[in-house]
Amino acid sequence: MKTAWLITKTDTPCKPIADWLRKKNYRVQTLIFGEIPDTHYPDLICMLLSSQGANQVLKELREDEHTSMLPVLLLVPTKYLPEIDPSLPFDDFIHLECSRDEFNARLTLMLKKHHGLLNENVVKIGALEIKLDEYEVLLHDQIVALTIKEFELLKFLATHRGRVFSRAMLLETIWGMDYYGGMRTVDVHIRRLRSKLEHLGDVFIETVRGAGYRFIKSDDM
User: What pLDDT, in 10s, does the model give residues 188-214?
Assistant: 999 999 999 987 778 899 999 989 999
Domain boundary among 87, 114, 141: 114
62 and 13 within one domain = yes
Domain boundary among 60, 83, 114: 114
User: Residue 64: what pLDDT?
Assistant: 80
b/e for 183-199, b at 16 or more Cβ within 10 A?
Answer: eebbeebbeebeeebee
95 and 69 within one domain = yes
User: Residue 40: what pLDDT?
Assistant: 76
Mean pLDDT taken over the chain: 84
216 and 156 within one domain = yes
150 and 102 within one domain = no
CB 111 within 8 A of CB 105: no
161 and 94 within one domain = no
Band of pLDDT at residue 12, cut at 50, 70 and 90: low
Mean predicted confidence (pLDDT) in 42-67: 81
Length in residues, the chain: 221
- CATH code where residue 36 lies: 3.40.50.2300
* Full-model pTM: 0.56
Domain boundary among 69, 86, 114: 114
132 and 100 within one domain = no
192 and 132 within one domain = yes
Domain of residue 151 covers 122-220
CA distances from 105 to 92, 108, 109 (A): 12, 5, 6
9 and 109 within one domain = yes
User: Residue 86: what pLDDT?
Assistant: 78
Q: Would you say residue 60 has pLDDT above 90?
A: no
CA distances from 214 to 43, 65, 211 (A): 15, 12, 9
Mean predicted confidence (pLDDT) in 146-169: 91
**Digit-coded pLDDT (tens) for 158-190:** 988 888 999 998 998 898 867 777 788 999 999
Q: How many structural domains is the chain composed of?
A: 2
User: Residue 190: what pLDDT?
Assistant: 96
